[in-house]
Structure 1
Amino acid sequence: MGTVDRAPGLSVRLKLTLSYAGSIVFAGALLLAVVWVFLLRYVPEVIAAPPRGAPGSPGPMIIPDRADLQRAFVPKAALVMVFLLIFGLVGGWFLAGSMLAPLTRITNATRMAANGSLSHRIQLEGREDEFRELADAFDTMLARLEAHDAEQRRFAANASHELRTPLAITQTLLDVARNDPNRDIGALVDRLRFVNTRAIDLTEALLLLSRANQRSFTRDHVDLSLIAEEATETLLPLAEKRGVTVETTGDIAPTTGSHALLLQMTTNLLHNAIVHNLPEQGTVRVTTSVHPMTVVLAVENTGPKLSPQVVSTIVEPFQRGTQRVHSDHAGVGLGLAIVKSIAQAHYGTLIITPRADGGLRVTVDLPATRADGS
């Protein structure tokens, strides 16, 4: 997006200087006017002097009138006004420059950020005021942009790697089949189908992640408790196959959002809880609760113990806990990343904490909807 063409104008420093000088001159002129009016009250227009030699006369004396006052006052007042004008212009110029110095640093930092340098910080010194508050807010924004840019670079690199892997496997299988005409075609087709399915799943996950980040969806009134039950019914066969017990309880949890995206979010959480569980006799608990301003979906599962350092990274795209899992239900490494994006798209938060006995507790807080739908 290009810059807007603007006509040249006066600088803010010059405008402030003229404002300071104008204020000082106006105040000086007002003060002199008050003095002039005050003097005129006590000086008559014409002074009648007593005749010389009159009884009781002190002798010759000069009594000023208004004309004398005007001749004495006006030149001095003009000199004072000239001094105030010069003082206002010079002092205002330096004062405006001192006041606008922080704004110059902020402008330079903005230009550097526009050129791609996100590591620069203003770090404005001094006590708290409006400029320092603006500089601190700008530094915070730069830090977030830098972190987001680094995250996007990692995401692009990981996505490229993940997309290239099934393509490379497909190419290898095809080369082997071409060089070995006697190879079992059925096994080759099954393998190609599996690899192609993984590539499709990854592509759909990336599209879903992009859709959640853009918040391009229709918002309806939904109940998280019904969504939790629907996700549980869908994944119940997988849980039974792995010997995992799923318990779903909770209150009616009304909120506003996309039913499809919230169902995908809940399904991803439940899927991760089932897959990353104990080898046998594992449990998963899905609960919903209502608070004054939020509704909460909590998914808690047994499983291996995880350190806080590992937990802090598993939300990033293509992270799968302590190691990469290769199975029919390993997913594409975007499960929790999609959950986080969907939660943020619904103005919610995702909190992941390790359980002392192993496994995770994942909670999603979303804005609550009142009974009247507001």
Structure 2
Amino acid sequence: MKYRFRTRPRTLSIHARLFLGFGTALGGCAALMVVIIYTGMRYLPTYDFSTTVIVPPGSTATEPAVTPPGPSPQPWPTPSPGPGLKPGTKTRTLGDVSSKEDVWNTVLLVSAGGVLLVMTVGLGAGWLLSKRLLTPLHTIGEAAAKAADGNLQDRINADGPEDELKQLADTFDTMLARLEESFAAHQRFAANASHELLTPLATTRAALQIAGDNPSGAEFAELALVLRETNERNISVVRALLDLAGADHAPFDPDPVDLAELTDRAAAERSERATELGIRLDVDSEDDCAAHAACEIAGNATLLRQLVLNLLDNALDHNTPDNGSVHLAVFRERDTTVVLEVENTGPQVDEAVVGRLFEPFYRARPRVGSDRSGHGLGLAIVRSITSAHHGTVTAAAHSRGGLTVRVELPVAR
């Protein structure tokens, strides 16, 4: 049998709840202080109030007689007791403590006054302090509300000491920046993918319209070739998208893979194409990699082979024809990482767009005027495969032209 517990809605803010909790704790401590002082003063000490001044009944207070020279002086008058002073009672003035009851009453009054003063000062300080401490939370709430409405440009930019609230605000700013970058990348991906898939479809429709307007055999033969090329391009784009999705989400059981050996085989597969393009292709791997299997990583051999081939194809496609070069290097670094570097010559790339080269469908050069080779998914697939193997990939532009792509993967344990 299941029970449902209804939770009461919280009507008070965090500031008010913190203030009330602080005030309750302060009041409890103050009341406890009063109880301790009163109990201790009443039951612990032993009081002795036997030394008192008593006016005996019928006594008179006179000054000693002094006989001055000359005539006999008149006797001094006998003073009478003051108003309210009865013979045989103790003499008291305001503020005197002459009994236990006086001590208890004095302690109680002083403690109660102190409690009221402490609570007033403490509550005022607690209100100001809690309000100041919780100000970043209010700002974070406003930024979160704006982000929920789609505004990811605003930042908190909290200042003050490096406490937990400032760390929370800085983390929130970092999250907003990454979300903004991610949404912008997804928007570019949607626009580029739509363009990449719409262009062949528009070409196919135009070819079919031409064939329908003038159905001659010669034109059908030409249009069939155009339709075949367009269809092949659509198929390659869809396959690349499937590879990208598979690299992001397909699970695999890691096996020891020698990255140096895999790179040698991939370079051998692309050597003929490099020769046709007039590009020199060479591979450099450390002797330790071959002798002691020091360049083994844990991963999927098929995905890693695709990673190396994509890097090679990108280096060959964006290169200097008839006088270019591609250099591959595999080595071990810091005893924990295997590094694959692919360096090529080619057109100069702006440093500002190097980071976007790994976005799907992004090209450093516009499609207009280019040879329209590739579909802009090669490096995106490289990044996905690298992330699936818990590695990192970066690119650096050369001042003379070309790129160096660096892939770092953890060593197999």
TM-score by length of structure 2 reads 0.77
Provide the aligned C-alpha RMSD in A.
Answer: 3.0
Indicate the residue corresponding to 2:8 in structure 1.
7
CA contact (8 A) 2:200 2:231 kept: yes
- The one-letter amino acid paired with 1:346 is H
Tell me the CA shift for residue 170 of structure 1. Answer: 0.9
Distance 2:47 2:347 in 1: 105
CA contact (8 A) 1:286 1:298 kept: yes
Query: How is 1:150-229 mapped onto 2 (pairs within 5 angstroms)?
Result: 150-184=184-218, 185-214=220-249, 216-229=251-264
Residues 86-115 of structure 1 show CA distances to partners (whole Å, capped at 9, x for unaligned) of 554454344322321211111121122122
Tell me the CA shift for residue 281 of structure 1. Answer: 4.3
- The one-letter amino acid paired with 1:165 is T
3-state DSSP of counterpart to 1:303: coil
- The one-letter amino acid paired with 2:196 is E
TM-score by length of structure 1 reads 0.84
User: Aligned pair in 2 of structure 1 residues 113, 321: CA closer, same or farther (>3 Å)?
Assistant: closer
Aligned pair 1:77/2:122, yes or no?
Answer: no
Residues 25-67 of structure 1 show CA distances to partners (whole Å, capped at 9, x for unaligned) of 344345445654664588535633468589xxxx955562322
3-state DSSP of counterpart to 1:197: helix
Aligned pair 1:271/2:313, yes or no?
Answer: yes
3-state DSSP of counterpart to 1:128: coil
Aligned residues: 360
User: Aligned pair in 2 of structure 1 residues 82, 272: CA closer, same or farther (>3 Å)?
Assistant: same
Aligned pair 1:131/2:133, yes or no?
Answer: no
Indicate the residue corresponding to 1:261 in structure 2.
303
User: Aligned pair in 2 of structure 1 residues 248, 74: CA closer, same or farther (>3 Å)?
Assistant: same
Which segment drifts farther, 116-125 or 69-78? 69-78
What are the ranges of 5 or more consecutive residues in structure 1 without an aligned counterpart? none
Indicate the residue corresponding to 2:268 in structure 1.
233
Indicate the residue corresponding to 1:302 in structure 2.
345
User: Aligned pair in 2 of structure 1 residues 311, 44: CA closer, same or farther (>3 Å)?
Assistant: closer
3-state DSSP of counterpart to 1:314: helix
- The one-letter amino acid paired with 1:272 is N
Residues 212-243 of structure 1 show CA distances to partners (whole Å, capped at 9, x for unaligned) of 34464443332221321232233233223223
| Percent of aligned positions that are identical | 36
User: Aligned pair in 2 of structure 1 residues 183, 321: CA closer, same or farther (>3 Å)?
Assistant: farther
Query: Which of 315, 322, 333 is 1:280 aligned to?
Result: 322
- The one-letter amino acid paired with 1:115 is D
- The one-letter amino acid paired with 2:20 is L
- The one-letter amino acid paired with 1:8 is P
Which segment drifts farther, 148-157 or 355-364? 355-364
Distance 2:53 2:400 in 1: 118
Residues 238-273 of structure 1 show CA distances to partners (whole Å, capped at 9, x for unaligned) of 223223332223143222233222222211110111
Structure ID, larger Rg: 2
CA contact (8 A) 2:42 2:104 kept: no
What are the ranges of 5 or more consecutive residues in structure 2 without an aligned counterpart? 1-5, 57-88, 290-294
User: Aligned pair in 2 of structure 1 residues 342, 85: CA closer, same or farther (>3 Å)?
Assistant: same
Distance 1:52 1:307 in 2: 107
User: Aligned pair in 2 of structure 1 residues 20, 127: CA closer, same or farther (>3 Å)?
Assistant: same
Query: Which of 297, 316, 334 is 2:377 aligned to?
Result: 334
